[in-house]
């Protein structure tokens, strides 16, 4: 809703001003805390249409807790925690992006970004696995042995080759010379422990560079490209669903803006909780009370379908009012030619059917005369 988006903008501006001009202003931080509480209760009181997700609820809870801690520090005469101030700034822009999801131009792009963030979360899980793997391996190899950075020191043509291919940041050697032969590579190739550790370290670093920056990065690019290709066909339907959900939420908003709507939003939240408790109790007691739940879901689906139909009709009317382009004329001409070809094929089929019917009637007449 536009009013909620405007409230997000005002809340961000209220926090941005005291953060840079007057960070110890108690009245401003009081207003910011009340504003964020009003935002949370408005989200909790909204109908369950899919517009607000559990991530939105979590962001609002973190926002209120951060503002509460900041307000307590300022009230006690302390400084504003910079980490919480920075975290809440990110949450503000996340709320602004959520408000722009119903924008005709930016909405489909934001839907794609949010879906790709889910793919990135899965990718990060795989990346943490590989990072932990190579960290444990390097920790086992270099335990108790200090390393020296030699990426910018000339030792052999290998140094120049590694710098040209990747960079100097992967070139490290052991600090002290160890002439023992306790490693497996030392016994097989006749090296001392220092040379064997440097060789094994170079192998592990090469595997790390291949697996994490090269293989996993290309995997992320392939996943995002595949997700973009899949969403490009369904993003319009997803945008229509988000728009309809937003309209259902906007219909039940109170007339007062935030934070003046806080008492009414708290009352709406309490009513919603009471309704949920009664429905759960009805589901436990028997099937008679449960019969009303499918009707409510059906009404909600019908309302969403009606909103989407009205929105599509309005968009079609706006397109009709606009100027006709050459592409549209060419598209209509192509569709007309295709329709004419199909009509010609249907006409030919009808003529063939008529001829076959006449032949069958003549054959039937001759057969009757012969009898």
Q: What is the pLDDT of residue 309?
A: 67
Q: Which residues have C-beta within 8 Å of that of residue 332, sequence separation ≥ 6?
A: none
**Is residue 292's pLDDT more than 50?**
no
CA angle 175, 177, 181 (to 5 degrees): 125
Burial class of residue 35 (count of CB atoms within 10 Å of its CB; 0-12, 13-18, 19+): buried
Residue 287's H or E segment, with its range, is: helix 287-290
Q: What is the pLDDT of residue 313?
A: 66
Which residue in 62, 20, 18, 25 sits closest to 40, CA to CA?
A: 62
Q: What is the pLDDT of residue 291?
A: 45
Question: How do residues 32-45 score in pLDDT, each as one tens digit?
Answer: 888 888 888 888 88
- Which string of DSSP letters, residue by residue, matches 95-123? HHHHHGGG-TTHHHHHHHHHHHHHHHHHH
Question: How do residues 330-369 score in pLDDT, each as one tens digit?
Answer: 777 788 888 888 888 888 888 887 777 778 878 777 777 7
Q: What is the pLDDT of residue 22?
A: 72
d(CA 83, CA 89): 10
Question: How do residues 139-161 score in pLDDT, each as one tens digit?
Answer: 888 887 777 777 767 666 777 67
Residue 147's H or E segment, with its range, is: strand 147-149
Which three-class secondary structure state does DSSP give residue 176?
coil
- The tokens describing 368, both together, are 């009757």
d(CA 3, CA 10): 11
- The tokens describing 11, both together, are 């809340």
Quote the pTM value. Answer: 0.57
């Amino acid at each position: 809703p536009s009013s909620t988006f405007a409230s997000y903008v005002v809340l961000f501006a209220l926090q941005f001003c005291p953060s840079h001009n007057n960070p110890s202003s108690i009245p401003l931080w009081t207003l910011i805390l009340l504003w964020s509480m009003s935002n949370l209760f408005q989200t909790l009181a909204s109908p369950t249409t899919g517009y607000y997700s559990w991530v939105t609820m979590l962001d609002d809870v973190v926002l209120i807790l951060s503002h509460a801690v900041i307000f307590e520090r300022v009230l006690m005469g302390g400084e504003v925690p910079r980490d919480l101030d920075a975290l809440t700034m990110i949450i503000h822009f996340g709320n602004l992006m959520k408000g722009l999801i119903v924008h005709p131009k930016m909405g489909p792009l934001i839907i794609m970004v949010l879906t790709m963030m889910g793919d990135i979360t899965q990718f990060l899980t795989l990346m943490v696995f590989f990072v932990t793997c190579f960290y444990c391996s390097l920790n086992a190899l270099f335990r108790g042995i200090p390393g020296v950075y030699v990426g910018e020191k000339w030792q052999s043509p290998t140094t120049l080759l590694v710098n040209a291919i990747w960079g100097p940041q992967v070139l490290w050697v052991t600090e002290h010379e160890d002439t023992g032969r306790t490693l497996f590579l030392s016994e097989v190739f006749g090296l001392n422990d220092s040379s064997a550790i440097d060789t094994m370290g170079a192998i592990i670093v090469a595997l790390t560079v291949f697996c994490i920056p090269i293989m996993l990065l290309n995997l992320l690019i392939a996943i995002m490209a595949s997700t973009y290709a899949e969403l490009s066909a369904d993003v319009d339907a997803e945008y229509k669903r988000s728009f309809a959900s937003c309209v259902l939420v906007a219909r039940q908003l109170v007339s007062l803006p935030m934070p003046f709507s806080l008492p009414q939003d708290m009352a709406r939240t309490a009513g919603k909780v009471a309704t949920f408790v009664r429905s759960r109790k009805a589901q436990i007691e028997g099937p008679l009370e449960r019969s009303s739940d499918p009707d409510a879901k059906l009404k909600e689906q019908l309302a969403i379908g009606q909103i989407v139909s009205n929105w599509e009709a309005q968009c079609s009317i706006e397109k009709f009012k606009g100027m006709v382009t050459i592409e549209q004329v060419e598209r209509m001409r192509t569709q007309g030619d295709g329709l004419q070809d199909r009509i010609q094929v249907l006409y030919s089929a009808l003529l063939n059917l008529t001829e076959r019917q006449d032949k069958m009637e003549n054959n039937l007449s001759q057969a009757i005369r012969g009898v």
